[in-house]
């Protein structure tokens, strides 16, 4: 499999970069309409023996956007039907809304409709509401539908057993209910043999395409982004590891925080507790495609090939000096 070259596109807020081993897409739009026609599976998309990776990329872009449109529509209707899944380990309420379910229905079942043999893992699949009235999206898998010019995307046929797709229909649900919409994303990640090679992060309430080619000044004092839910704990750890002058920024949404690393707005994303793989897979692909790194706090790469949805070993994402951060965060140097 050969992913080479760099491609940047600006029509309707699209930015694509193809790295040597990983492929990511950051796609942001504020439109809120969706397709509703049933469509047949076509032979060049998938069969029992293989899945067309280029078609899967295009489908991932479109279902992330369509899921985002469901999120926007529910918010505009102001009828969230908010429920709770319980509390996180940090004691924070973990809500779920009608938007989570509607986005899940569109994203999950559209992918399964077009790629029946594809293994798709969704945050909301185990608790989904009735999706029986779903009209499958009329996806247009022609590459020209997502580009402003002719480009060469990988046209590989991959055995379905090698592929795992992770989707998060609505990342930062709590902030969604609190109108902190800048943190909200819908995400799709494609892993081949456990390695994240396609990441799609869609910001349904975003209006601008970020330029994430610049990495900022990595020689400055560390600027750490952490989850709002345990900002105090990580601030204490960060001060032990990097000194009192370290800047700690709290934010929501693993997708949002991963993009802050990729853009160079922060130097590291640190998460010290368990985190679900659908939260980090797309961001992992993005960070690595730009030459960065995402590992557990014990310096292990995350494996996205299995159905074990939880990473229990924390998270560190950086664009540079990854080993330096890991060394500073080692248990021998900080008290958790």
* Beta-strand pair 195-203/23-28: parallel
279 is in an annotated binding site: yes
CA angle 279, 284, 289 (to 5 degrees): 150
d(C-alpha 259, C-alpha 187), whole Å: 12
Which of the 8 DSSP states describes residue 220?
Answer: S
d(C-alpha 244, C-alpha 295), whole Å: 25
36 is in an annotated binding site: no
What b/e string do you get for 97-123 counting C-beta neighbours within 10 Å, with b at 16 or more? bbbbbbbbbbbbbbbebbbeebbbbbb
Do 46 and 118 form a contact (C-beta atoms < 8 A)? yes
140 is in an annotated binding site: no
155 is in an annotated binding site: no
123 is in an annotated binding site: yes
Taking phi first (over 0 means left), then psi (-120 to 50 degrees means alpha), and beta for anything else, what does residue 254 get?
Answer: alpha
Could you list the residues known to form a binding site for Mg(2+), using ranges.
123, 168, 170-171, 279
Binding-site residues, in ranges, read: 123, 168, 170-171, 279
């Amino acid at each position: 499999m050969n992913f080479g070259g760099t491609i940047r596109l600006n029509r309707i807020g699209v930015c694509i970069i193809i790295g040597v081993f990983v492929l990511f897409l950051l796609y942001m739009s504020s439109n809120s309409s969706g397709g509703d026609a049933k469509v047949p599976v076509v032979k060049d998309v998938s069969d029992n023996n293989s899945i067309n990776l280029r078609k899967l990329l295009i489908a991932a872009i479109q279902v992330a956007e369509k899921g985002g449109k469901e999120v926007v529509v529910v918010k505009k209707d102001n009828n969230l039907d908010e429920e709770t899944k319980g509390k996180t380990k940090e004691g924070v309420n973990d809500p779920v809304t009608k938007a989570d379910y509607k986005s899940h229905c569109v994203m999950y079942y559209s992918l399964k409709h077009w790629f029946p043999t594809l293994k798709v893992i969704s945050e909301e699949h185990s608790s989904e509401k009735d999706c029986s009235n779903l009209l499958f999206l009329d996806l247009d898998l022609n590459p020209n539908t997502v580009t402003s010019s002719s480009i060469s995307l990988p046209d590989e046929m991959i055995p379905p057993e090698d592929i795992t797709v992770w989707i998060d229909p609505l990342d930062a649900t709590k902030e969604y209910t609190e109108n902190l919409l800048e943190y909200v994303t819908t995400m799709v990640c494609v892993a081949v043999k456990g390695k994240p090679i396609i990441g799609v992060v869609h910001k349904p309430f975003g209006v601008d395409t970020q330029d994430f080619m610049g990495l900022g000044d990595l020689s400055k004092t560390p600027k750490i982004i952490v989850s709002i839910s345990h900002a105090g704990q990580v601030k204490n750890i960060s001060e032990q590891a990097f000194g009192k002058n370290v800047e700690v920024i709290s934010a929501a949404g693993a997708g949002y925080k991963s993009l802050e690393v990729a853009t160079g707005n922060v130097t590291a994303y640190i998460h010290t507790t368990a985190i679900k793989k659908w939260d980090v897979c797309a961001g992992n692909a993005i960070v690595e495609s730009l030459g960065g790194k995402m590992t557990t706090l014990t310096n292990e790469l995350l494996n996205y090939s299995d159905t074990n949805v939880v990473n229990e070993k924390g998270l560190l994402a950086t664009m540079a000096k990854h080993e330096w951060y890991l060394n500073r965060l080692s248990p021998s140097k900080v008290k958790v």
